[in-house]
A and B are shown apart, each in its own frame.
Chain A
């Protein structure tokens, strides 16, 4: 474990016209940590995630990522080319809607191989065998490597997105409602997969979810957001078992079996 955080956000605020979607959020994330961001729809979770992932520029505040070469670098003040390179190699976003994260006109294998090529891989045979190995790891049938993702079910598309991101060995993964819209049996499978991957690869993960059950099982730390603000944060079990804020208490009390 190192003493410098992998990601550091300070005072991140993002407004759309007059609507402030997230307000003054600060956080630090270390390698191997899984941070959950919970709250109802409209609480600003996804906006915050997109600011942290470099997809959306904060109105004020900074987001820094610790790169291997230069230490902490400001994600939004580096050049576009540098940011794109880091987004392809150092971190990745698994989108809520698989169609935002996959290339639907490219085969499953191509989707996985693409990020490897973007990171500099050129040998076709090696790219294909890496892609096959990752289909195995996310429990997708390797005989379907040449199919288009549109032929896959929702759960399979989510797993393909995860394979596509993880193949380039990122140090940080952002997940936006990764189990939303999936059957519970598929959810459980995805949760198990994510837990293994974070433990075995030492990944840092930020996961946005409105499902406190998912948060309990998957995350180490939790931030509770309401109307763009962080109302409570701490160890996941502490926040869920001993919530102090009125809104957190309401969230916890409203869930069945979390």
Chain B
């Protein structure tokens, strides 16, 4: 069964503040991902890897084409879905780890991690336990859990971001260079978490610059340029 299907997706940006300059990032991109498969997007900087992930999360709206995602027992086209449908899909189905941690200041790290679980209605103590577990696995020392991550190192913030994205065990994971600022030990911990997610049947679409990580998780590596049909 397909978990994701992009059909002839086009996405560009019109920069009104730059005299209407148009940047075409994706052209007629088609791509299908089977449920449980891990597809790694490859391509030069600017090839549109993050743009594909953002279209899959409903963060960018494509100009043309369709972005189907399997969620809540139906195939939903994110290109035309309402904000409410996208919000519901994110709660239930789509996990996304971006390159940046963007959170309410002053909120302790563990509460940031618990949030996606509480949003899905999990009881507080269970959410706390699950969050502590994943923070431990990502080697965030317990003394930091009750502190807001604003003062954490880049690598620590990135791991909080990963914990937040993975803790709810959603069926589709979108990962945008989650290991970029991590050392070898922590990279290995993230790889282990991704492989466990795959073993559970999670569909993964990701961008990983690190070759070792790519080879450890990818079922398929797709070169973005090769997928586009120039009309």
Contact = CB atoms under 8 A, between A and B. Distances in A.
Contact of A199 (B17, B59, B107, B118): B118
B1 interface: no
Contact of B61 (A33, A199, A242, A245): A242
Interface residues of A, number: 27
A221 interface: yes
Interface in B50-65: 54, 58-61
Interface stretch (B81-89, B162-170, B223-231): B81-89
Given A199-B119, A249-B17, A30 B104 contact: no
Interface in A58-91: none
B15 interface: yes
A220 interface: yes
A186 to B, nearest CB: 10
A61 to B, nearest CB: 22
Contacts of B75: none
Contacts of A234: 61, 83
A249 B15 contact: yes
Contacts of B141: none
A130 interface: no
Interface string A185-208: 100110110010001000000000
Interface residues of B, number: 24
Interface string B77-108: 00000011011100000000000001111110
A195 B118 contact: no
Contacts of A220: 83, 87
Contacts, number: 56
A33 B61 CA distance: 21
B14 interface: yes
Nearest to B87: A220
B86 A241 contact: no
Contacts of B61: 234, 238, 242
A242 B119 contact: no
A189 B118 CA distance: 20
Interface SS of chain A: helix
Contact of B59 (A1, A184, A195, A241): A241
Contacts of B87: 220, 235
A216 B115 CA distance: 16
A238 B59 contact: yes
A188 B106 contact: yes
Contact of A244 (B14, B58, B115): B14
Contacts of A33: 84
Contacts of B103: 217
Interface core residue of A189, A199, A235, A238 (most chain B CB under 10 Å): A235
A235 B15 contact: no
Nearest to B102: A216
A246 B16 contact: yes
A253 B15 CA distance: 11
Contacts of A217: 102-104
A238 B58 contact: yes
Contacts of A256: none
B60 A238 contact: yes
The 5 A-B pairs at the shortest CB distance, nearest first, are namely A246-B16, A188-B105, A188-B106, A235-B83, A242-B60
29 contacts: A1-B88, A33-B84, A184-B105, A188-B105, A188-B106, A189-B106, A191-B105, A192-B104, A195-B104, A199-B118, A199-B119, A220-B83, A220-B87, A234-B61, A234-B83, A235-B58, A235-B83, A237-B59, A238-B58, A238-B59, A241-B60, A242-B13, A242-B59, A242-B60, A244-B14, A245-B16, A249-B17, A250-B16, A250-B17
